[in-house]
Amino acid sequence: RPSRLGSAFCTHRATRSRSSMPADLARASTTDLLAELKRRMESPPKKNIILVGPPGSGKGTQAPLIKDKYKLCHLATGDLLRAAVAAGTEMGKAAKEVMEKGGLVSDEIVIGIIKDNISTPDCGNGFILDGFPRTVVQAEKLDGMLTSEGVGHIDHVIEFKVPDATLVERICGRLIHPASGRSYHEKFHPPKVAGKDDETGEPLVKRKDDNEETLTKRLDAFHKQTKPVVDYYAKQGLYSPVDADRKADSVSATIAAILAK
């Protein structure tokens, strides 16, 4: 027969054990606990991904596929800025004030807008960051914000590699239907009637910046700006280059293999 002291000790341990459990778990039924465990085990592992690549490299094709497969949110910084300004958020108001004066939006504002978005339910499984960071300082500030917010760290940095000559051909051949945004290509996806939209028959146009001289300058600037950022993440073992000068399904397979690591 246990002594009174032993009984008291056992009672104290049981009470302490129950009190240390989170209230919501302590009240949950076994069925609910098993269902929650199953949900967590079946959910894709959390991934925070940065996509790097110049215009025409295929990021716009692959990002939605990655988003759907891994249940991530897609954060394109240009879109985020416009949305924050339109919504009138605190960071959006700050960005609007700077832009109206013709200035460049600061790193702190951009990171603040990213911070606002990664705390939403859509980003619960992680995010795809597109268009940021563009400098090592930005990368360091991003790392600091992720750490302070307790949302993990960057897991993969994937760069879409395409020869500049191919990018020039891809972009300089683009034709746009202004009213709908439908796009064609003189070589890869020509309209049924040259220079005319397939659905309306209205004229197609080329964007002003879609010329070889402008694009060559943009690509040169992109490479000079991107290399230090890529090197920053490569030193951490996070960087993976992808040959994006292939069919989309081949590029998708390569990305899937990288993200499976």
Has 207 been annotated as catalytic? Answer: yes
Our CA dihedral for 72, 76, 82, 85, rounded to 10 degrees, sits at 60
Tell the residue number behind the tokens 């339109």, with chain if given: 86
Strands (E), 77-230: 126-130, 156-161, 174-176, 183-185
Say if residues 61 and 254 touch (Cβ distance below 8 Å): no
Has 218 been annotated as catalytic? Answer: yes
- Give the burial class of 152: count Cβ atoms within 10 A of its Cβ; 0-12 exposed, 13-18 middle, 19 or more buried: middle
HSE, CB side, 13 Å, CA atoms: give it for residue 229.
24
Options 93, 206, 207, 246, the catalytic residue:
207
Tell the residue number behind the tokens 């051909």, with chain if given: 169
Options 67, 161, 218, 246, the catalytic residue:
218
Options 59, 101, 170, 246, the catalytic residue:
59
Residue 255 token pair: 């990305």
Say if residues 229 and 135 touch (Cβ distance below 8 Å): yes
Give the torsion sign (CA, 31, 36, 37, 41): positive
Options 115, 134, 161, 206, the catalytic residue:
134
Tell the residue number behind the tokens 């080329």, with chain if given: 206
Strands (E), 113-215: 126-130, 156-161, 174-176, 183-185
Has 96 been annotated as catalytic? Answer: no
Question: 77-87 and 107-118 helices cross at what angle (nearest 10)?
Answer: 80
Has 27 been annotated as catalytic? Answer: no
Provide the annotated active-site residues. Answer: 59, 134, 174, 207, 218
